[in-house]
Amino acid sequence: MLNPPRPTSDVLRLGIPNGSLQASTIDLFAKAGYRISVKDRSYFPSIDDKSIEVIMFRPQEMSRFVEDGVVDLGLTGSDWIQENGSDVHEVAELVYSKATSQPARWVLCVPAESKVNKPEDLDGGVIATELVGFTRRYFEQKGVSVKVEFSWGATEVKARLLDAIVDITETGSSIRANNLRIIDTLLTSTPRLIANKQTWVDLAMREKIENIALLLKGAMSAREKVGLKLNVPRVSLDAIINILPAEKSPTISSLADGQWVAVEVIVEEKSERDLIPKLKRAGATGIISYPLNKVIP
């Protein structure tokens, strides 16, 4: 589909997903420094940047609207880009979600008691899914003849009404709760920041988009990290540095008392609980742990 000419404007039109990804998307933008506020029943949130306009769409539709130039920039899953066959510029992969940081998987499922063990066993069957086009192509490539029906929701229930379902999962908990069995993974998907191709060739707009992408990736990098500040006797500095993760290069500053230095370092949050007691025993004092909003490489 050809993109319409981009109207002359300094305002970037940003599409964000509503529904299950809405809260986590707004939280990510907040950590990146953009405050987005959603009013009840409004699809036009406000943002504290006059050079950006925000519109909310279903993630299933986002790539089409980006391709058509309805919005300049949008966030959606790589699954819907492939489902729609959209011709867009991929700016960045942003692995965040409503529940976990795991990629979402579209899986082929049957009831646990089913005799089906592989996709080929479904020849002549009926499959329910929201990912209709991709599922049809999947079975066509395998030479398996099936009828793929669009599912409007509660897809897990239909596994026992039809022959199988293709549904999305992150943790597999819903699959297990409905006593279903996964027989194949069709697609692994992560959120993508995508731009309209005509917008991308506009140098001023590209710079604005790259700035947004940089800050979003910095916010994501900070999610699982913390900063540590501590005071260290100079005589204990080597021992302290040996305790810190080898790949980290701490900032070391002299204190008014020449026998002491201040050490500051960024570490993985999961290592913090082991590090702090070791640092204390090695002579560190005044240890402060603090959260991070952005980490820009």
The CATH number of residue 91's host domain is: 3.40.190.10
| pLDDT tens readout for residues 43-101 | 899 999 999 999 999 999 999 999 999 999 999 999 999 999 999 999 999 987 655 56
The CATH number of residue 255's host domain is: 3.30.70.120
Do residues 96 and 200 share a domain? Answer: yes
Do residues 205 and 64 share a domain? Answer: yes
What the block records as the tokens of 11 is 């305002």
Do residues 174 and 30 share a domain? Answer: no
Do residues 229 and 211 share a domain? Answer: no
| pLDDT tens readout for residues 268-285 | 999 999 999 999 999 999
Do residues 284 and 242 share a domain? Answer: yes
CA distance to 25, 182, 270, per residue, from 225 (Å): 19, 34, 8
pLDDT of residue 188: 93
Do residues 108 and 247 share a domain? Answer: no
User: Residue 143 belongs to what domain range?
Assistant: 104-189
Q: How many CB atoms lie within 10 A of CB 195?
A: 26
Residue 256 domain flag: yes
Q: How far apart are CA 162 and CA 35, in angstroms?
A: 45
Residue 3 domain flag: no
